[in-house]
Structure 1
Amino acid sequence: MQRIKPAIVAAITAGAFSLGGCATKDYVNERVAAVNAKAETTQNQVNQQQAHLAKLDQTTQDALNRAEAAGKLAEGKFLYSMVLSDDSVKFPLDSSKLSTEAQQRLLDFVDKLKNENRNVYLEIQGHTDSSGSKPVNQRLGEERAEAVRLFLNEHGVALNRMSTISYGEQNPVADNKTRVGRAENRRVVLIVMS
């Protein structure tokens, strides 16, 4: 047998180690890429969960604010209410604009509040008849209640002492099948609480 020169053995050994190192390096790169992809997926899931939790936090805060407002009403003592209805104070058709008569009744109401010098809270409820779609009636009830709230604020009632809500067509006080009944259902109710 021929004797292998030590230089050739060294070269073959170095080559073998080199090839083994490349194979190991490729394997490590593949594993690192897989781990990085999994980490990125996990981070995206964490980000989505955090966004969802933030949305839930906001929803919870909104619910808490509504509950606190309801609590104030529940703690308060009902003093009296005032109704502005279509049969006594005309709202133009599909409009939230206050008539001159409605404005005068509201001015009388403000004077009564000021004369009593009470620290009161007002809930302003907008109602409609069943004519039109539910979304339109909901919006119209809110617009009418908001028009009353803004008018009262312009005449000295603090905004933080009032809230508005629209019941749309949900709580009729009369039959919506008759003209007179529909007129009674188109109303704004002011609830005065102490």
Structure 2
Amino acid sequence: MIRNFYHSKDTIKYLERRYGCIKNNAIRDDITLIKDISTQHSLEELHMMKRRIKNSLLYNGDESYISNHLQPTLLGYIVSISTLSISVMTVYSNWLQGLFTKTIDLNKEEIEQKDITELFNLLEPSFLFTVVGLVIVVFFIIILLGGWLMYKKKNQKTSIATHYVIIIDEAIMNIEKDTLKTSE
């Protein structure tokens, strides 16, 4: 594997492959990493890395509408799904009630009151409301879980990129400080 910055396609992946993951680094680990980066890269390379990471932060950062407006988006989904589900349930319930009413009107002489009561007990909406409510809750939980996972993954990527920007800034300052000492 070539560990040259000029052969890499992604700056963060290059840094992670070359220096390891910085996710759980302590300050002393960061200081060692800054020294390694500042001795192994030129000032020009560090500025190039910094620009690329900042550009990826701007491009993948907090620009997405859904990531910035997750709660209103979820609220819109739950309202639309709830309205649609209850509307379908109401239409279906009214259709069944109309069907039973037509059946009773056609067979008035043959149907007893007891049979009519049993037919309308079949139309009791509590079961339908329970099923529709359960579907709405399950759908909402799935959307909420998906939004949370999306937010967590995106937040982790931006956190790592921001950490690398800070480390590269400190490496640049380290190189500039060393050049000032050697010039004096």
How does the TM-score come out when normalised to structure 1?
Answer: 0.31
Q: Give TM-score, length-normalised by structure 2.
A: 0.33
Q: Which has the higher contact order (CA 8 A, sep 6+)?
A: 2
